[in-house]
Amino acid sequence: MRVAVLISGRGSNMAALIEACRRSDFPAEIVLVISNKPDAKGLETAAAAGIATKVIDFRGKGSRQAFEDAATEALEDAEVDLICLAGFMRILSADFVGRWRDQVINIHPSLLPAFPGLETHERALQAGVRITGCTVHFVRPEMDNGPIIAQVAVPVSNRDTADTLAARVLRYEHRIYPLALELIASGRARLVDERVIVDGDIA
């Protein structure tokens, strides 16, 4: 399966996906990394791994359409089957999500449907939850919404700040995102009636 990763910044989840794809038996390869920010650190990581990178930097009025048209062209040229959003900070339109229906997945640092959107960890701490986590899901037009592929629960400590909690959750993000990609790319996870069925799931 040919995969593109969309990033806006650091790219540590992208790096975890690149690392997983190095395994000779891994059923996916990353053929393109797109950033909407020219200074995204992850671009250097991708280039160092020998992966093609593209910056699509449009701002201001009409920029969403311009970004999405350019992205779709690049993704089609690269014959991409699946798009992984990894710290990608632009909202994608319903048109784009429809064009790539069931071909876009995202990682979010909470146990969705709890705490979608920004400042996730601050809000989790504010709410006083004892457990948070991370979620990989298929992308639908509503932000941080869509059929769930994989989740990990992560405990919250009394001493946590948003930063310490983010760091703890991130370690699990790096494990769960490659796992979710492997499930999809190998065909072991399938969408049935807007829910993901995983072969061999014993729950």
Residue 104 · residue 136 · CB < 8 Å: no
Contact between 87 and ligand GRF by CB under 6 A: the answer reads yes
d(CA 69, CA 109): 28
What's phi and psi for 78, nearest 5 deg? -85, 0
Q: Residues 98-117 vs ligand GRF: string with x where CB under 6 A?
A: ---------xxx--------
What's phi and psi for 30, nearest 5 deg? -90, 120
Q: Within its chain, how far is the Cα of 181 from the centroid?
A: 10
Q: Residue 108 catalytic?
A: yes
Q: How far is the CB of 166 from ligand GRF (least distance, A)?
A: 7
d(CA 147, CA 167): 25
Footprint (CB under 6 A) of ligand GRF, residues 1-30: 7, 9-13
Contact between 35 and ligand GRF by CB under 6 A: the answer reads no
Q: Are strands 82-85 and 2-7 parallel, antiparallel or unpaired?
A: parallel
Instruction: Establish whether 2 is an annotated binding residue.
Output: no
Instruction: Establish whether 107 is an annotated binding residue.
Output: no
Q: How far is the CB of 172 from ligand GRF (least distance, A)?
A: 10
d(CA 47, CA 112): 32
Contact between 173 and ligand GRF by CB under 6 A: the answer reads yes
Q: Footprint of ligand GRF on this chain (CB under 6 A)?
A: 7, 9-13, 86-87, 107-109, 170, 173
Active site (catalytic) residues: 108
Q: Write out the binding residues.
A: 11-13, 64, 89-92, 106
